[in-house]
Structure 1
Amino acid sequence: MAIRQHELTDSYGMELELFLIWMKNRGMTKATQQAYWQDTQSFLSSVHPAAISQLGKMDVMRYLASAREKGAGDEARNRKLSSLRAFFKALIEMEAGTANPAALVAKSKQEKHRIPVYLEEQELEQLLQTIQGKYYARNLAIVLLMAYAGLRVGEIHRMNIPDLRPDGVIHILGKGRKWRVIPLPEPLHRVLRKALEERIASRQGKEQPFFVSQFGRRLSIRMIQTVADQTIASLKEEQPSLADKRISSHKLRHSFATMQIRSGTDIRTLQELLGHASIETTQIYTHIDNKQLQTAMGNISNKIPSGLLGDS
């Protein structure tokens, strides 16, 4: 029997409110807050009406097992576990709990070194050529930041005018509220300046969002994704061979990383450019395509002794 919202609020309202306050104080993005909040409510629905002080490791494992049976993969399961770890940690820090049963549950091992989906350089050039319309400069800047600077959708959403410096350096507020500095190529800097010149005046008081909507508000994450999705859809119409390729705004970031690796950028520098907390996350971009494999093997072809089968 499904648990209604008012029943959850009656039983766990205080704890959920404390969790929300904790997440805001930690500076978590709204998207992260929403995801953790939904996961936690889903978990609490599964254990209702048990008191939180009575919950243990088995309750968490039972919930995660049920999620897997409903189709959740390793990545989704691990996110739900992260949500619950954060929830119980919040209660401990807010002096409303004494234990973190989710911390005792191991994360699922995910497939490593999976080759990410990305676009080739010529496909990226074709992608840019499909951009048109009233907000051309703005939309071009958004796609360029994804494909040629590796920015996440949320990072573009948070950009403010002062973040772009006169010398072409841009300051980006990334995951975990960590800043990173990216020196932009001149062509990209030029497009951003043009987008700024044509930008609609903001109607959000003292805020200075870099990208704004037609109504003068900070461009939403959903709208930024829509700009990328519509551009990708246009590319697929012109290039039917890409129809089955699962390309999204985040795959443009993959394309940036792939270009960097192919250009000889070392993995530590790429980690800084992408804003990864762990080098392991960056290592998925060290994939090599067949052409590079053939070139690598061709380099040793003349080192294999001749006449191995008696031929001269």
Structure 2
Amino acid sequence: MKSQHELDDLYGELTKAFRIWMKQAGYTETTQKEYMREAYGYLDSLEGASAEQAGKMFVISFLVSKQRGAGDRARNRTLSAIRSFYTALIDFELATRNPAMEVKKSKTEKNKKPVYLEEEELAASLSCIEGRYRSRNIAIFLLMSYCGLRVGEVHRLNRSDFNPARGTIDVFGKGRKWNEIPVPGELSAVLAEVAEDRLTPYKEQEDAFFVSQKGRRLSIRQIQKIAGQTFEAFKSLNPQAANKKLSCHKLRHTFATMLLKNGVDIRVVKELLGHASIETTMIYTHINDEQKKEAMATIRLPVHI
């Protein structure tokens, strides 16, 4: 396997373009690192061949080579990285087609039931948030669970993105798209309070909504740590939830599930989540056991059988 230095000698213009494109697109630092690793692996598999001339077979061969011991989610993640890589090349006129778009994602992943919190579990989790920065951390938790924001979107949120008069926040999400999200009145009041009591930034011009103890924009890792500590405290008080794999993204699952269970049109949920395709939103249309029981309770068998 070639080193990154050797691959940059062969494909330096392409890797540089991909880095610039992802940064401009607002990808999180974690995603940028993962996608660059996948891109280098893919370029190594080309064995010096032109990325522009590589076709569907090259992409599939790379996926197969990585598939040993990996699940469908890992395969789809790799495919998404290669798709993004070629999208970047096309944007910078370094390629004319995206062979990764000709490769289908694994359907098995779509059948996996998302992990989410029931509403009473969500309330119990919120009650576990304590400490010096309680208000700030509650606001972070609420934005992910009651507005569906991704952790990267919370990280990028600025004070200027919050409009208390309109009761909205402007969210810069995936695909370099802005999405205006109406905020529930109670949450708008919390955000207004947090904005008023915000820690003084290290740099005067810093517009970050959430500021760390050191006066810098709260990092993605710090936000994940806040959520992780909250989940650990919740699980310690609720042993029945001990096996749930909870994370920031599971709060987004919770938001989508709550909306759909409350009868909100899936097209509206798609727009609130900032999904490009309604197929992505469809994974949240799972039915829980209680809903199954309620449905079966409506059936009336004949009196005489």
Answer yes or no: same fold by TM over 0.5.
Answer: yes
1:261 pairs with 2:260: yes
Contact 2:210 2:217 in 1 (8 A): yes
Deviations 1:96-125 (A, max 9, x none): 456644344333333434321111111111
SS of residue paired to 2:290: helix
Equivalent residue pairs, number? 304
Contact 2:25 2:174 in 1 (8 A): no
Contact 1:170 1:181 in 2 (8 A): yes
Alignment of 1:244-283 (within 5 A): 244-283=243-282
Structure 1 residue 135: Cα displacement: 0.8
SS of residue paired to 1:305: coil
Structure 1 counterpart of 2:285: 286
Contact 1:113 1:287 in 2 (8 A): no
Scaled by the length of structure 2, what TM-score is found? 0.90
Alignment partners' CA distance in 1, 2:271 and 2:55: 39
Alignment partners' CA distance in 1, 2:101 and 2:261: 39
Deviations 1:215-237 (A, max 9, x none): 11111111111111110011011
Alignment partners' CA distance in 2, 1:104 and 1:292: 38
Structure-2 change in CA distance of 1:104 and 1:135 (3 Å): same
Structure 2 counterpart of 1:137: 135
Contact 1:137 1:198 in 2 (8 A): no
Alignment partners' CA distance in 2, 1:156 and 1:28: 13
1:306 pairs with 2:303: yes
Moved more, 198-207 or 49-58: 49-58
Alignment of 1:56-135 (within 5 A): 56-69=55-68, 71-97=69-95, 100-135=98-133
Structure 2 counterpart of 1:150: 148
Structure 1 counterpart of 2:295: 296
SS of residue paired to 1:212: coil
Q: Which amino acid aligns with 2:138?
A: L
Structure-2 change in CA distance of 1:116 and 1:27 (3 Å): closer
Alignment partners' CA distance in 2, 1:272 and 1:231: 28
Q: Which amino acid aligns with 1:4?
A: S
The structure with the largest alpha-carbon Rg is: 1
SS of residue paired to 1:171: strand
Alignment partners' CA distance in 2, 1:19 and 1:107: 22
Q: Which amino acid aligns with 2:243?
A: D
1:166 to 164, 167, 170: 164
Structure 1 residue 64: Cα displacement: 0.8
Moved more, 162-171 or 109-118: 109-118
Scaled by the length of structure 1, what TM-score is found? 0.88
Structure 1 residue 29: Cα displacement: 4.8
Alignment partners' CA distance in 1, 2:256 and 2:47: 45
Contact 2:113 2:283 in 1 (8 A): yes
Alignment partners' CA distance in 1, 2:235 and 2:121: 10
Aligned-pair identity (%): 52
SS of residue paired to 1:182: strand
Deviations 1:200-221 (A, max 9, x none): 1223453311001111111111
Structure-2 change in CA distance of 1:145 and 1:68 (3 Å): same
Deviations 1:43-85 (A, max 9, x none): 223333445466444332221111101x332232223223323
Moved more, 52-61 or 220-229: 52-61
Alignment partners' CA distance in 1, 2:289 and 2:198: 43
Alignment partners' CA distance in 2, 1:33 and 1:101: 21
* Superposition CA RMSD, Å: 2.3
SS of residue paired to 2:67: helix
Structure 1 residue 134: Cα displacement: 1.1
Structure 1 unmatched ranges of 5 or more: none
Structure 1 residue 3: Cα displacement: 2.4
Structure 1 residue 27: Cα displacement: 5.3
Structure-2 change in CA distance of 1:92 and 1:137 (3 Å): closer
